[in-house]
Structure 1
Amino acid sequence: MEAVASKTEEATTAAAREYLTFRLGQEEYGIDILKVQEIRGYEPPTRIAHAPEFVKGVVNLRGTIVPIVDMRLRFHCAQAAYDSFTVVIVLNLHQRVVGIVVDSVSDVLELLPEQIRPAPEVESSIDKACITGLGSVGERMLILLDIEKLMTSPEMGLV
């Protein structure tokens, strides 16, 4: 009987996925934790001429030049001030390192498939293909992003 319980527990754990959650204004987002390389405090990047408005510039991260994307500007949110809570989430996407500026990082959550619902069909500044679903944890509602698809989309200009 113990072996059966152990197998069920393993199946449940295997189906669960971990998401790093972060805030942009009042919204809370989640991205696959496996795409996250590190979380750093915000430091002003070096501006690149003629880059899209949401690309704040680049930083040198241990010898790697990393483009920095302000997600508030990318998602057309109100401009927020950079403060002590503002962080850069450094992502590793197909051997490409990219940083995203967010208001704050909340925590890492494990979501089971039954906690994730399909995203509704609504007009949004985020391409529907880049939203994997809506996760619910208690009273919290997370917008789950396919961050790799979002960052490598043609309008980002980072490919």
Structure 2
Amino acid sequence: MHQQTLAAPQQFLAFTLGGLEYGVDYAAVQELKVFSALERFSSDGEIIGGVALSHGVIMPVVDLRAAFAAAFCAPAPDTDVIIVRVPAGLVGVVVERVTGVLRLYPEQVVPLPGAQPKADYLIGLGLAKGRRLILIDIDRLMSVAPAAPRQVA
């Protein structure tokens, strides 16, 4: 885990995965969609999993539910997808449900207890308004090789 200190208040988009609440930097969010609204990419009439179109741009779609829980479950039509901009381009991130936007101040972000050093995509634990968000550095998470399930907390 890397401890990123916020220099100023920062907004995070909050969402749920497996009963826990997470947050990503709101500045990285391009748009929000429901899974059923994604335009699916197909080849020879067959839908290709893990790929979608957004405004004519082909992008990978990563299911964070499977990455963090190490178990696959098919998305429901109302499952939320966060489209984020990372250095490699746009990526669709499948989550259970988006819960809002929170502004966090530097003093509201603390180290995540028990986080392993390899989990450098975990920023820390955001504490605000009675909520606890596991803060994710989406750029680092999307640059990690998917060799094993991810540490969730």
TM-score range (shorter-chain normalised) is 0.7 to 0.9
User: Which structure 2 segments of 5+ residues have no match?
Assistant: 1-6, 148-153
Question: 1:33 is matched by which residue type in structure 2?
Answer: Y
Instruction: Please name the residue that 1:113 is paired with.
Output: 106
Task: Quote the offset at 1:102 in angstroms.
Answer: 0.4
1:97 maps onto 2:90 in alignment:
yes
1:140 maps onto 2:105 in alignment:
no
Retained in 2: the 8 A contact 1:29–1:142? yes
Q: Per residue, is there more helix in 1 or in 2?
A: 1
Q: Per residue, is there more strand in 1 or in 2?
A: 2
The alignment covers a number of residue pairs equal to 135
User: Which structure 1 segments of 5+ residues have no match?
Assistant: 1-13, 49-54
SS at match of 1:155: coil
Instruction: Please name the residue that 1:24 is paired with.
Output: 17
TM norm structure 2: 0.77
SS at match of 2:120: helix
Higher relative contact order (CA 8 A, sep 6+): 2
- Taking the aligned partners of 1:37 and 1:122, their CA distance within structure 2 comes to 28
Please point out which of 47, 51, 57 is paired with 1:58.
51
1:131 maps onto 2:125 in alignment:
no
RMSD: 2.6
Which has more radius of gyration?
A: 1
Once superposed, which parts of structure 1, at least 4 consecutive aligned residues long, lie more than 2 Å away?
43-48, 76-85, 121-124
- Cα distance per residue 1:39-74 (max 9 Å; x no partner): 0110374589xxxxxx94101212211111110111
- Taking the aligned partners of 2:112 and 2:91, their CA distance within structure 1 comes to 25
Between the two proteins, what is the percent identity of the paired residues?
Answer: 38
